[in-house]
Homo-oligomer: A and B are copies of this chain.
Amino acid sequence: MPDIARLVRDIAEEMRGAEERGKVATYIPPLALVDPGHFGLCVVTADGEVHAAGDSEEPFSIQSVSKVFALTQALGKVGDTLWRRVGREPSGTPFNSIVQLEREQGVPRNPFINAGALVVADVNLAGHQPRVAIGELLRFVRYLADDETITVDEVVARAEQATGFRNVALANYMKAFGNITHAPELTLGVYFHQCAIAMSCRQLAMAGRFLMHGGLYEPGGPRVVSAQRARRINALMLTCGHYDASGDFAFRVGLPGKSGVGGGILAVAPGKAAIAVWSPGLNDAGNSMLGTFALERLAEATGWSVFAP
């Protein structure tokens, strides 16, 4: 086993100097303003040690990484009945595709594409006001990360709302099939705010620990989800966590991971580490370019791939 602390520093150093950094997402205006020069990395190992480097303390918009926490929340509410409303298969099409919804009668392929995350948000809304559902999710994430300072970036949330026509289309389309139970604008309210949660790499890696520990908050700590559910969330992250590049991420990195267009990725090495990386520039598939490189480096050096002996 290499010296993790040193490895984390080396990777951050290497990524700081990278010239090719991908393209910052532009469709949500505040995201377009983020400096592509950022890079942060944080690794929390199984024994609780935290190794961080680069801009690991700077909050960024976690965007679709929030889908992991929202899914965990929804499974806590409705259990496996969730799977009547959303599938568990990779999508085979870009992340905001509406084609698949038409073919499959309003049932999204998995909870990590936008349509599936809207169904999850609809479950979490549960007849309340959007701010109630968002407050509950925020409390859950703060608890997981052990950090009460995590909050929603309202500027980003409003920008999502003002420009998210495609998500409005998805929600209304599923409503037409009866797979959104609230008024679409309420479900969308939950979704837009959840995507606008801002977290640092440190906070995100901390919040991912329960997926490393088989569902426990920490070794010997309280149970967040059952061991089976933790495995299953990891499985979904591996097969569906990087949109239409999930296969490639599994091939190259070999870890369950979930990316967001803010440039963050949460990755899990079960029994070994929870990892968060952030670099705003995206590759062609819409995932953090340097973040993916960094995780590939880290997994290669540590042998943490779930596919290794």
Contact = CB atoms under 8 A, between A and B. Distances in A.
A239 B90 contact: yes
A5 interface: no
Interface string A163-193: 0011011111101100000001000000000
A307 B184 contact: no
A306 interface: yes
Contact of A231 (B173, B213, B227, B254): B254
Interface residues of A, number: 60
| Overall SS of chain A's interface | helix
Contact of A235 (B175, B212, B254, B300): B254
B227 A251 contact: no
B245 A89 contact: yes
A1 interface: no
A11 to B, nearest CB: 18
A88 B231 contact: no
Interface string A279-306: 0000000000000000000001000011
A47 B182 CA distance: 55
A176 B184 contact: no
Contacts of A308: 214, 227, 231, 270-271
A262 to B, nearest CB: 19
Interface string A196-228: 000000000000000011100000000000011
Contacts of A98: 98-99, 101-102, 169, 173
A309 B306 CA distance: 10
Given A169-B169, A247-B240, A307 B89 contact: no
16 contacts: A46-B309, A87-B247, A88-B247, A88-B248, A89-B92, A89-B247, A98-B101, A99-B102, A168-B184, A172-B172, A214-B309, A228-B300, A235-B305, A236-B247, A238-B239, A239-B250
Cβ-closest 6 pairs across A and B:
A92-B92, A271-B309, A90-B90, A234-B307, A169-B173, A89-B247
Interface of A: 46, 87-93, 97-103, 109-110, 165-166, 168-173, 175-176, 184, 212-214, 227-228, 230-232, 234-236, 238-240, 244-248, 250-251, 254, 256, 270-272, 300, 305-309
Given A99-B103, A165-B176, A235-B251, 5 more contacts: A92-B109, A98-B101, A169-B169, A232-B251, A272-B309
